[in-house]
Structure 1
Amino acid sequence: MKIYSGWRRLLFCLPLVFLVPHLFSVFELHQSSIVEVQTKKNYKKFDHLVLGPAAGQGLPDRLQCQGVKALNKTHFSSPSNGATSRDTISLVTVFALYNISPHSYEDDKSSNLVTVGNTSYSKGERSMAILDVFINFIQVSMPQSNVIILTDPASALSVGRNSVTVFPIQGEYSRDKLMLQRIRSYIAFLDQRLMEHSKWHGRVNHYIFTDSDVAVVDDLGPIFQNYPNFHLALTFRNNKNQPLNSGFIAVRGTNVGILRAKLFLQEVLEIYSSKFMKASRMLGDQLALAWVVKSHPSFDSKRFTRPQAFMDEIHGASVLFLPCALYNWTPPEGAGQFHGMPLDVKVVHFKGSRKRLMLESWNFFSSSYSNVSDMLCLVLKSGRTKYDF
């Protein structure tokens, strides 16, 4: 009888052995959720630049700053007109304006104003301000180049700037499909250039497709000079899941270069549409790019861990891989950021909420007392702060 009672007590206690740890886990999860909610409530984006320590202090070949004054100078190229005197370079970006009703526009003006310097921007005006600064940086660093803006034909986009062309391409430019449309627009643009190739009479126009939230701070013509055999160029970083960034794609402007680049992007589009539509709003194009490259039998992904340019044959195209640290440097999460900024950085990518920093950087650079090296110190020291864009 005693034995039976002991077994009953044991059987009664067994569920508690498993239940108590579970209750503790639920309690900890609940507490964690409360902390996370409180953190989100207390979190606020800054409406001004917040300067901190500059990463990379004391490291060779990295920008050294004292305040926003550069102690060493970045390695800038002399502006060129491309690979040869007959070559030209066009910077191409996709840009969409979203329709705003008069009523919502007034609400936008009153409740969402953001002031940068002496100028206040509504939400709709911020995108145009970023596009304008994008063009400004190009015309300083590459004054002989052209800017081409691919956009929705229904958009009322008008840019009255020298050497800037608006190129309408039919498509779906909604926010949810914009990344998908960007690849489609690139393909349509290259297809149009192939049809017009016979009219060029030996002239070569190279193309560099970029996001509109980048600042080109050095001449990109040497890419085509120093690497004469590639068809298209991509930028890479040491990131296992997203090693390739689609914010910078260079295409050699020969007939074969344009054709190979077009076929390569068509392969990316097919993979994007069949495998990554759940990520169509964000990252789908980068995941598709990585899939196309890494699925090639001879490709060695370990090369992404070393920040040196290299070439490989991918689906019939000669692809040049350029390190993001130089050609797509992003504060704060770009490759090499936590080791500072390389002295020969070419392109700074102001992703996400860093748009304010892009406008602030241009205002600082265009002031009478600033130069590119000092401006890059401003970017480097501001890179870990989230702003209101």
Structure 2
Amino acid sequence: MLIKRKYFRWNRLLLCLPVVILIFHMLSVSEFHQSSRSKEKPKKIDHLVLGPAAGEGLPDRLQCQGIRALNKTSSRMFQKNSDSVDHVSFVTVFTVYNSTVDSRPVDLVTVGNTSYNKVERSMAILNIFVNFIQVTMPQSNVIILTDPTAEIPLHRDMVTIQPIQGEYSRDKLMLQRIRSYIAFLETRLEKLTVMQEKVSHFIFTDSDIAVVHDLGRIFTDYPSFDLALTFRNNKEQPLNSGFIAVRGTAEGLQRGKAFLQEVLKIYSTKFMKASRMLGDQLALAWVVTSHPKFDIKRFSKREAFLDKIGGASVLFLPCSSYNWTPPEGAGQFHGMPLDVKVVHFKGSRKRLMLESWNYFLSSSDISDMLCLILKSGRTKYDF
């Protein structure tokens, strides 16, 4: 009788075992799904999120109360009697892709009272790029280098669209950008020497920047450089290719072109695996830092300096003033320097560029607008 009872208990245990295993499996699957969801990238935010302004209490940094500046940056509007008497043109590379033309309604993003598809977003950024230049440097031209097959619906005063033959695919755009710069400098050099055109200096930039100060002062304050680059204290990528200035004299154009040809050569031979992104910056750094007499420790100081690289006199300008990026750029975690001249909305900060322009239209105060940028720049938006 005792043996039968024990047998019956074991039988019940064996019958329950599959149920226990099934419950354990379901709990494991549920835990796995919860873990997977926690590892998913968070959804990008579709509105401005204001946080604390970095640099509070630090000297020579923008101080904000809400989105009002307590001290003013040195940013100012261009005046006809400015010390910057030389003509300066801005040059950028821009194109439109078929995949963005065929964007769906689900791709719409709303900023303020306006909704944008992918093409409209790109065009909005390009227009605001021009807007900021025309506010701070209204006598400057903007030249857009593009694929001859591209149709860019931009009709603005002081803006020229210049087709340059090349390969503008996404994977080769950074490589093509350098080729386009070189081709442009060749045409300008020919016009200067053959057609005796007036000297004009050139600043090559990405189209997602806001010029908030008269940059013509670079050419008068530093009269001996041929080419200017922006640097940051970053061992892997000390130079940013989003801002390159070239003096418009025959010597400056020639030496600037030769320098970029060397960068293109290094890019094509050493960094083609990074052709979609960063290859140009890696090539820039290689050309500069491989020079035997170059002191890379100078990148750790926030001071402009001149050096001879190959046959060109190169001016190195700190990103914290001439290529400031929220939140990645040098100086962000210590606030915004009062002498900031260029804000670079790279990566996912494109919405912030549009929001900043909209706020500037309502406030007409660049310093207040910079407070908005400083307090919003750490958020990744949906542009």
> Do both proteins adopt the same fold according to a TM-score greater than 0.5, normalized to the shorter chain?
yes
Q: Which residue of 2 aligns with 1:257?
A: 252
Q: Which residue of 1 aligns with 2:26?
A: none
Among 374, 378, 381, the alignment partner of 1:384 is 378
In structure 1, give the amino acid aligned to 2:160.
Answer: T
Matches within 5 A, 1:22-41: 37-41=36-40
Number of aligned residue pairs: 351
Q: Is 1:182 aligned to 2:180, yes or no?
A: no
In structure 2, give the amino acid aligned to 1:325.
Answer: S
Asked if 2 retains the 8 angstrom alpha-carbon contact of 1:80 and 1:144, the reply is: no
The CA deviation at 1:340 is 0.2
Q: Which residue of 2 aligns with 1:161?
A: 156
Q: Which 5+ residue runs of structure 2 have no aligned equivalent?
A: 1-31
Q: Which residue of 2 aligns with 1:131?
A: 126
Matched residues in 1 for 2:119 and 2:284: separation?
A: 31
Secondary structure of 2:276 counterpart: coil
Matched residues in 2 for 1:139 and 1:236: separation?
A: 26
Asked if 2 retains the 8 angstrom alpha-carbon contact of 1:93 and 1:149, the reply is: yes
Asked if 2 retains the 8 angstrom alpha-carbon contact of 1:236 and 1:324, the reply is: yes
The CA deviation at 1:198 is 2.6
Asked if 1 retains the 8 angstrom alpha-carbon contact of 2:76 and 2:136, the reply is: no
In structure 1, give the amino acid aligned to 2:74.
Answer: H
Matched residues in 2 for 1:211 and 1:283: separation?
A: 13
Matched residues in 1 for 2:176 and 2:237: separation?
A: 20
Q: Which residue of 2 aligns with 1:93?
A: 92
Instruction: Report the TM-score when normalising by structure 2.
Output: 0.88
Secondary structure of 1:321 counterpart: strand
Q: Which residue of 2 aligns with 1:29?
A: none
Asked if 1 retains the 8 angstrom alpha-carbon contact of 2:62 and 2:371, the reply is: yes
Asked if 1 retains the 8 angstrom alpha-carbon contact of 2:229 and 2:244, the reply is: yes
The CA deviation at 1:181 is 0.4
Cα pair distance change 1:36/1:189, threshold 3 Å = farther
Secondary structure of 1:358 counterpart: helix
The CA deviation at 1:34 is 8.3
In structure 2, give the amino acid aligned to 1:170.
Answer: Q
In structure 2, give the amino acid aligned to 1:51.
Answer: L
Matches within 5 A, 1:225-304: 225-304=220-299
Secondary structure of 2:184 counterpart: helix
The CA deviation at 1:110 is 1.3
Report the RMSD for the aligned CA atoms in angstroms: 1.8
Q: Which 5+ residue runs of structure 1 have no aligned equivalent?
A: 1-32
Q: Which residue of 1 aligns with 2:73?
A: 74
Secondary structure of 2:98 counterpart: coil
Asked if 1 retains the 8 angstrom alpha-carbon contact of 2:206 and 2:242, the reply is: yes
Secondary structure of 1:143 counterpart: coil
Partner deviation per Cα, 1:143-198 (whole Å, 9 max, x = no partner): 11000000000001132100000010000001110000000000000011111113
Among 302, 314, 317, the alignment partner of 1:319 is 314
The CA deviation at 1:38 is 3.0
Which structure has the larger Rg? Answer: 2
Asked if 2 retains the 8 angstrom alpha-carbon contact of 1:80 and 1:221, the reply is: no
Instruction: Report the TM-score when normalising by structure 1.
Output: 0.87
Partner deviation per Cα, 1:269-306 (whole Å, 9 max, x = no partner): 00000000000000000000000000000000000000
Secondary structure of 1:215 counterpart: strand
**Aligned structure 1 segments of 4 or more residues deviating by more than 2 angstroms:** 33-42, 80-85, 198-203
Matched residues in 2 for 1:280 and 1:148: separation?
A: 24
